[in-house]
A and B are shown apart, each in its own frame.
Chain A
Amino acid sequence: MKQNLVSHKFTGKVLTYFFLILFFFISILPIWWIWQAALIPKGPTNIDPFAFPTNPTFDNIVEAWTVGKMSSYMINSILVAVPRVAVVLFLSSLAGYAFGKLKFFGRDKVFSFILFGMMIPIQAMAIPLYYNIQRLGMINTRWALILPYFGLSMPFDIFMMRAFFKSLPSELMESATIDGCNEFQTFLHIMLPLTKPALLALMVFEFMWSWNDFFLPMLMIYNDEYRTLPLGLMYFSGRYATDQSLVAAGVMISTLPIIVVYIIFQRQFVEGLTVGAVKG
Chain B
Amino acid sequence: MSGPTWRSGHLWKWAKAMLFILPALLFYIIFLFIPVCNTIQLSFYDWDGASSVMKFIGIENYKEIFMDDIFWKALSHNIFWIVFTIVVPVLTGFFLAVLLNQKGIRGRMLFKVTFFMPAVVSLVAVGIIFEWIYNPSFGILDRALKAIGLNLLALDWLGDPNVVLWALLIAGSWTYYGFCMVIYMAAFSGLDVSYLEVARIEGANPFQTFFYVVAPLLRNTTTLLVLNSLIGSFKVFDIVYVMTKGGPYYSSEVISTYMFRTAFNFSEVGKGAAISVVLAVIIACCSSAYLKYEERED
14 residue pairs of the A-B complex, CB under 8 angstroms, read A31-B121, A34-B125, A34-B132, A117-B32, A119-B287, A123-B255, A124-B35, A187-B20, A233-B122, A233-B124, A233-B125, A244-B138, A254-B122, A261-B120
Pair A91/B179 contact, Cβ less than 8 Å: no
The answer to whether the Cβ of A6 comes within 8 Å of any Cβ in the partner chain is no
Q: 3 closest Cβ contacts across the A-B interface?
A: A151-B31, A125-B35, A128-B38
Q: Which residue in A123, A148, A247 is a CB contact (below 8 Å) of B237?
A: A123
Pair B182/A120 contact, Cβ less than 8 Å: no
How far is it, in angstroms, between the C-alpha of A266 and the C-alpha of B99 when the chains are bound?
Answer: 20
Contact A34 B129, CB 8 Å, known A127-B39, A259-B120, A262-B117: yes
The answer to whether the Cβ of A46 comes within 8 Å of any Cβ in the partner chain is yes
CB neighbors of A among B1-16 (8 A) = 3-4, 10, 13-14, 16
Counting chain B residues whose Cβ lies within 8 A of the other chain, the interface size class is 35 or more
The answer to whether the Cβ of A221 comes within 8 Å of any Cβ in the partner chain is no
Contact A92 B183, CB 8 Å, known A233-B128, A251-B129: no
Q: How far is the CB of B197 from chain A (nearest CB, A)?
A: 20
B189, closest chain A residue (CB): A274
The answer to whether the Cβ of A126 comes within 8 Å of any Cβ in the partner chain is yes
Q: A20-B96, A50-B138, A120-B283 are in contact. List 4 more A-B contacts (CB 8 A).
A: A120-B280, A121-B283, A215-B237, A274-B182
The answer to whether the Cβ of B210 comes within 8 Å of any Cβ in the partner chain is no
Pair B36/A104 contact, Cβ less than 8 Å: no
Pair B115/A27 contact, Cβ less than 8 Å: yes
Pair A269/B3 contact, Cβ less than 8 Å: no
Pair A237/B99 contact, Cβ less than 8 Å: no
The residues of A that contact B272 with a CB separation of less than 8 Å are 127
Pair B99/A102 contact, Cβ less than 8 Å: no
Contact A230 B283, CB 8 Å, known A91-B24, A151-B31: no
The residues of B that contact A230 with a CB separation of less than 8 Å are 122-125
Pair A128/B124 contact, Cβ less than 8 Å: no
How far is it, in angstroms, between the C-alpha of A149 and the C-alpha of B30 when the chains are bound?
Answer: 11
The residues of A that contact B35 with a CB separation of less than 8 Å are 124-125, 127-129, 132
Pair A124/B128 contact, Cβ less than 8 Å: no
CB neighbors of B among A79-132 (8 A) = 91-92, 94-95, 97-99, 102-107, 110, 113-115, 117-132
The answer to whether the Cβ of A78 comes within 8 Å of any Cβ in the partner chain is no
CB neighbors of A among B229-254 (8 A) = 234-235, 237-238, 241-242
How far is it, in angstroms, between the C-alpha of A147 and the C-alpha of B20 when the chains are bound?
Answer: 19
Q: Which residue in A50, A92, A119 is a CB contact (below 8 Å) of B284?
A: A119
Contact A31 B25, CB 8 Å, known A233-B122, A278-B224: no
CB neighbors of B among A209-235 (8 A) = 211-212, 214-215, 218-219, 229-231, 233-234
Pair A154/B140 contact, Cβ less than 8 Å: no
CB neighbors of A among B258-298 (8 A) = 259-260, 263-264, 269, 272-273, 276-277, 279-280, 283-284, 287-288, 291, 294, 298
- Fill in one digit per residue for B21-38: 1 if any A CB lies within 8 Å of its CB, else 0: 101110111111111101
Question: Which among B117, B183, B263, B269 has the highest number of chain A CB atoms within 10 Å?
Answer: B117
Pair A214/B123 contact, Cβ less than 8 Å: yes
Question: Which among B124, B179, B263 has the highest number of chain A CB atoms within 10 Å?
Answer: B124
The residues of B that contact A155 with a CB separation of less than 8 Å are 28, 32
The residues of A that contact B209 with a CB separation of less than 8 Å are none
The residues of B that contact A258 with a CB separation of less than 8 Å are 120-122
Q: How far is the CB of B30 from chain A (nearest CB, A)?
A: 6
The answer to whether the Cβ of B102 comes within 8 Å of any Cβ in the partner chain is yes
Q: Which residue in B14, B24, B36, B111 is a CB contact (below 8 Å) of A95?
A: B24
The residues of B that contact A110 with a CB separation of less than 8 Å are 21, 25
How far is it, in angstroms, between the C-alpha of A16 and the C-alpha of B121 when the chains are bound?
Answer: 27
How far is it, in angstroms, between the C-alpha of A280 and the C-alpha of B292 when the chains are bound?
Answer: 12
- Fill in one digit per residue for A233-253: 1 if any B CB lies within 8 Å of its CB, else 0: 110010000001001000100
The residues of B that contact A274 with a CB separation of less than 8 Å are 182-183, 186
- Fill in one digit per residue for B108-136: 1 if any A CB lies within 8 Å of its CB, else 0: 00011111111011111110111011000
- Fill in one digit per residue for A33-59: 1 if any B CB lies within 8 Å of its CB, else 0: 110000000000010111000000000
CB neighbors of A among B69-105 (8 A) = 92, 95-96, 99-100, 102, 105
The answer to whether the Cβ of B217 comes within 8 Å of any Cβ in the partner chain is no
The residues of B that contact A49 with a CB separation of less than 8 Å are 132, 138
Q: Which residue in B13, B140, B269, B280 is a CB contact (below 8 Å) of A121?
A: B280
Q: Which residue in B4, B96, B234 is a CB contact (below 8 Å) of A105?
A: B4
The residues of A that contact B111 with a CB separation of less than 8 Å are 20, 23-24
Pair A120/B284 contact, Cβ less than 8 Å: yes
The answer to whether the Cβ of B172 comes within 8 Å of any Cβ in the partner chain is no
Q: How far is the CB of B34 from chain A (nearest CB, A)?
A: 7
A125, closest chain B residue (CB): B35
